[in-house]
């Protein structure tokens, strides 16, 4: 018997967010699902990532929240795999050369064409082993969260259908890998960091839909 999840009214707020404050509250017990078809994730080797400047920490403990971001880059109409690779290079260069981080901060990236790419080093192996490659995507919360960067800026414009469909499948895959309830675990960056507009008002308002569609896929 599956444990009861908290009611949607209890966990969801205006705009689709959760009350998190500075740290995550207690979550329901880890859940068990039948396998779902995972997204095709392009590895760092496939998009020719730079090596990280220092070793990446991998924790045996799984994350308890999936954090949805937008890249705040242009809403390109180039939906190709080539553009997805360019995006990953741009993010990695920004995070390493401008922010001074050891690597790309997020574990996964989704392009506007719907391509899913590995971000931070060791992320894909860690997910497949129920572990967490510690990122730099949510300040002070990186030891228990996994981040997805979605290409574009969604303050006033919507995502592409391809991107959002891939985001649903990616979230379902992560929920299976980590035993997470989508209603309790899928959050926006601004739920932890109130000074950011990330992931944009439009994408943030779609988080309830993201949770619903992820749950439906998990229970199909």
Report the SS3 class of residue 212.
helix
Determine, yes or no, domain membership for 28.
Answer: no
Angle between helices 161-178 and 207-218 (to 10 degrees): 60
User: What CATH code is carried by the domain that includes residue 128?
Assistant: 3.40.80.10
pLDDT at residue 32, as a whole number: 85
CB distance 152 to 159 below 8 Å: yes
Longest dimension (CA), the chain: 49
pLDDT band at 87 (very low <50, low <70, confident <90, very high): very high
- What's the rounded mean pLDDT across residues 108-135? 98
CA distances from 150 to 59, 97, 115, 193 (A): 24, 21, 10, 17
Determine, yes or no, domain membership for 25.
Answer: no
Average pLDDT, the chain: 90
- What's the rounded mean pLDDT across residues 161-168? 98
The predicted-structure confidence for 42-55, as pLDDT tens digits, reads as follows 999 999 999 999 99
The residue with tokens 């999840």 is 5
pLDDT at residue 35, as a whole number: 84
For residue 62, give the DSSP letter. P
List Cβ neighbours of 216 (8 Å cut-off, separation of 6 or more): none
Q: Examine the pLDDT at 8 and tell me if it is beyond 80.
A: no
Whole-prediction pTM: 0.89
Give CA–CA dist 213/215, Å, rounded: 5
Determine, yes or no, domain membership for 22.
Answer: no
- What's the rounded mean pLDDT across residues 167-186? 97
pLDDT at residue 174, as a whole number: 98
Determine, yes or no, domain membership for 95.
Answer: yes
Question: In which domain, by residue range, is 89 found?
Answer: 39-46+57-218
Q: Examine the pLDDT at 90 and tell me if it is beyond 50.
A: yes
Q: Examine the pLDDT at 1 and tell me if it is beyond 60.
A: no
| Number of domains the chain is built from | 1
Determine, yes or no, domain membership for 62.
Answer: yes
The predicted-structure confidence for 48-78, as pLDDT tens digits, reads as follows 999 999 999 999 999 999 999 999 999 999 9
pLDDT band at 111 (very low <50, low <70, confident <90, very high): very high
């Amino acid at each position: 018997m599956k444990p009861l999840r908290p009611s949607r009214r209890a966990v969801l707020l205006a705009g689709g967010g959760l009350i998190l404050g500075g740290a995550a509250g207690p979550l329901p017990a880890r859940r068990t699902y039948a396998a779902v078809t995972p997204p095709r994730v392009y590895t760092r080797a496939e998009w020719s990532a730079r090596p990280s400047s220092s070793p990446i920490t991998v924790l045996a403990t799984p994350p308890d929240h999936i954090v949805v971001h937008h890249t705040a880059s242009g809403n390109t109409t180039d939906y190709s795999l080539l553009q997805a690779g360019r995006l990953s290079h741009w993010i990695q260069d920004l995070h390493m050369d401008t922010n001074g981080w050891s690597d790309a901060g997020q574990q996964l990236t989704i392009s506007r064409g719907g391509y899913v790419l590995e971000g931070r080093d060791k992320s894909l192996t860690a997910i497949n082993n129920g572990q967490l490659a510690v990122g730099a995507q949510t300040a002070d919360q990186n030891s228990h969260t996994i981040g997805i960067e979605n290409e574009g800026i969604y303050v006033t414009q919507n995502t592409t259908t391809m991107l959002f469909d891939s985001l649903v499948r990616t979230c379902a895959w992560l929920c299976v890998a980590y035993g997470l309830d989508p209603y309790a675990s899928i959050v926006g960056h601004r739920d932890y960091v109130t000074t950011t507009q990330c992931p944009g008002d439009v994408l943030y308002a779609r988080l309830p839909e993201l949770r619903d569609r992820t749950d439906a896929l998990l229970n199909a």
